[in-house]
Amino acid sequence: MSRAQAESVIKNIIREIAQECASKGQAVSETLVAFMVKAVVLDPRNEFNVDRTLTKDDVHKLIKLCVDRLLDSRSPALDTVKMQVYFDMNYTTRADFLEEHRRVLESRLQPVVREITDSRARTREELESLYRKIVSAVLLRSGLGSPTDIAVVREATAALQSVFPQTELGTFMSLVKKDKERQLVELTHIVTGIRLFNKECGKGGEGIDDLPAILNEAVPATTQNVDIEIQRTTDTAFRYTALMEKMMSGEVHDGPSLQLLKDSDINARQHEAFLRIILNDVINCAQQVEMLEAQLASRMEQLQATVQSKTAVPTAHVYPQFINLAHIWSGFQDEMVLLSVLSNILASLEPFTKGHRDVFTDEMLSPFMENVYVKTDETRIRETSGGDNRVKPSDMKHLDWLFPETTKNFERLPLQYRGYCGWALVKYDRLLLPGNPDIGVLRYKDRYYAFSQKEAAYEFASDPDRFITLVAEGAKKSPELIQLLELHTQFATITPYSQGRDQGKMIEKPITKCDMGVQTDTHILETNIVKSYEWNEWELRRKAIKLANLRTKITHSVQTNLSNMRRDNVSQVYLPKDQESQTKRDGGSNVPKPQTFLAGLRGGGFQTRPTIMTKVDLTVDVDQT
């Protein structure tokens, strides 16, 4: 089966699974179905072979297993996968989000801007209509009030007229489209700055919200909400971990399902990881707002000093300040939108954790939690810190161990498995225990591993490849661990959900072929370089002539009675070359050119007077030259 045919088969399988789930009252996205297909195929318990083409029975089995998993409403593992899909499809970095937000705003403004730039207004009514459209475009781009509010429109029109009177529409109409768009953006910034300055002076500001004050209330409230949710989620994870440890040690009998507890713990830990990402963004928002407030206050003071109740101010002095003020306010607007998105994501993540909370309620767990000491991650790290709990590098000299006092930026090391102990994941079958970097971080094949205890570090370091492979095998049984532990590099067919838009590449074994070009240097080792090599044709000709000239030379050789056992010695020299020199000096002198004048050659004519020729020498003397 060709690759295109395989992709077509997989897409049909995904479509059929989604339709069957929809017919049973459960709507699922194709992205979720695609990942579930990958998870089912990777799970060794399902006995799918990726090296051969799926048979008809394999396809029916695959569809049935996927539908059963997707319809399991009380499965914490499915909730975790759904949470991961949602977060990856809706969350993006700050820079990417703001870029996308501005692109969307520009696309919405495009019809209004195009109507202005393409206008061919001639009459007075058409020019007035064009000016009103420019006012509307300025209001829409700035976001300061509604174009349908009369008071806002009047204020914006007055500010625009002070910068761009209606009489200049003719000049505006003569510009090319690009220049028109550029001038509209500049006018928006200047008008925005004027309105913000008027609001600060108490002379306007109709329809302008006090964004700094709103953000100063919203940011702490959002931070508090995230902190509360993190505390709640971590407390749940700590309880699950403590109970599982007791059950594995045999101290708790007839407890809840251990597999269900592990799935619930993974769900809680994934929720915690996403919450910490959101919290970090909210903290960045707070820092950005604080910086923008300082810039706003400074700019307002400079404007006050520039204007100072003057009737006229040079535009070269004040316009750049208005534009900068508009940029600062745009920063406040970006923070508002970003904070709103983060709050929506925070609220949307909570339903994905309800499944295990409804199953493992406080009443249900309380009988099993008697005499169980619940340790937090901080407690576990504190208990395993100290000199006695540290790895001794001398015990394993062939491995590279890193410690805080010997490694720069130790706290920023990109720990594998998101900082969880790889030994515990194998020893206790996917149990998530936080690693303590203070014990010692193992650097193996340019990756960094932290451990929950000293003994775990020694056992893992004795055979790292085996443990790394077993962690990957465990992730195949719980595919949600691939995202949580960041194992995408170990699974060529599993990519982050946001990158897995093409659902036709799941069951086929990944192709490892690629186009490659190889270039080898002429001489890699210095000792192999031929010093006499020449590429120049004329240099080769010179050497050929030189060799041919040897035919006319005499060769001398000497041999003694005792030299017959030695190597032949030959010497060759050039005979002395005949050399000649010749000198020559040219000299010259100038003499006067002879000049002679003859007179009287015409003769006497009809007269009887005879012809007398007179010769006059006109040559100049040598002394006079």
Model confidence at 606: pLDDT above 70: no
Beta bridge partners of 143: none
Can you tell me the distance from the alpha carbon of 525 to that of 519, in angstroms, rounded to the nearest whole number?
15
Residue 382 CB neighbours (<10 A): 13
Letter string b/e over residues 555-584, b meaning 16 or more CB atoms within 10 A of that residue's CB: eeeeeeeeeeeeeeeeeeeeeeeeeeeeee
Share of the chain above pLDDT 90, in %: 24
Q: CATH 1.20.1260 spans which residues of the chain? A: 211-365
pLDDT digits (tens, 9 = 90+) for 130-145: 999 999 999 998 888 8
Q: Torsion over CA of 443, 444, 447 and 453, rounded to 10 degrees?
A: -60
Can you tell me the distance from the alpha carbon of 382 to that of 388, in angstroms, rounded to the nearest whole number?
13
Mention every residue, 6+ apart, whose C-beta is less than 8 A from residue 446. Answer: none
The residue written with tokens 């007791």 in the block is 246
Residue 188 near residue 141, CB atoms below 8 Å:
yes
Left if phi > 0, otherwise alpha if psi is -120 to 50, otherwise beta: which for 419? left
What average pLDDT is seen over the chain? 83
For residue 493 the two structure tokens come to: 């067919």
The domain defined by 211-365 folds into Ferritin (1.20.1260)
Model confidence at 52: pLDDT above 70: no
Model confidence at 115: pLDDT above 50: yes
DSSP code of 387?
G
Q: Which of 166-170, 221-225, 532-536 has the highest mean pLDDT?
A: 221-225
Beta bridge partners of 443: 400, 448
Q: What is the mean pLDDT of residues 476-483?
A: 85
For position 289, what pLDDT does the model report?
A: 93
Instruction: Identify the band that residue 510 occupies on the pLDDT scale cut at 50, 70 and 90.
Output: very low
Q: What is the mean pLDDT of residues 367-392?
A: 86
Instruction: Identify the band that residue 526 occupies on the pLDDT scale cut at 50, 70 and 90.
Output: low
Can you tell me the distance from the alpha carbon of 451 to that of 168, in angstroms, rounded to the nearest whole number?
72
Model confidence at 507: pLDDT above 60: no
Per-residue CA distances from 558 to 349, 567, 569, 571, 574 (Å): 99, 12, 8, 9, 17
pLDDT digits (tens, 9 = 90+) for 268-281: 999 999 999 999 99
Which residue stretches of 478-607 are H helix? 480-484, 537-549
Residue 140 CB neighbours (<10 A): 18
Share of the chain above pLDDT 70, in %: 88
For residue 270 the two structure tokens come to: 């994934």
Residue 5 CB neighbours (<10 A): 11
Residue 240 near residue 360, CB atoms below 8 Å:
yes
Can you tell me the distance from the alpha carbon of 453 to that of 246, in angstroms, rounded to the nearest whole number?
18
Can you tell me the distance from the alpha carbon of 439 to that of 391, in angstroms, rounded to the nearest whole number?
6
Residue 36 near residue 70, CB atoms below 8 Å:
yes
Q: Please state the φ and ψ torsions of residue 522, each to the nearest 5 degrees.
A: -60, -45
For position 569, what pLDDT does the model report?
A: 61
Mention every residue, 6+ apart, whose C-beta is less than 8 A from residue 535. Answer: none
For position 347, what pLDDT does the model report?
A: 92
For residue 315 the two structure tokens come to: 């535009």
The Cα angle at residue 607 between residues 602 and 612, in degrees rounded to 5 = 40
Model confidence at 61: pLDDT above 70: yes
For position 397, what pLDDT does the model report?
A: 79
Q: What is the mean pLDDT of residues 399-428?
A: 89
For residue 369 the two structure tokens come to: 């939690």
pLDDT digits (tens, 9 = 90+) for 88-97: 888 888 888 8
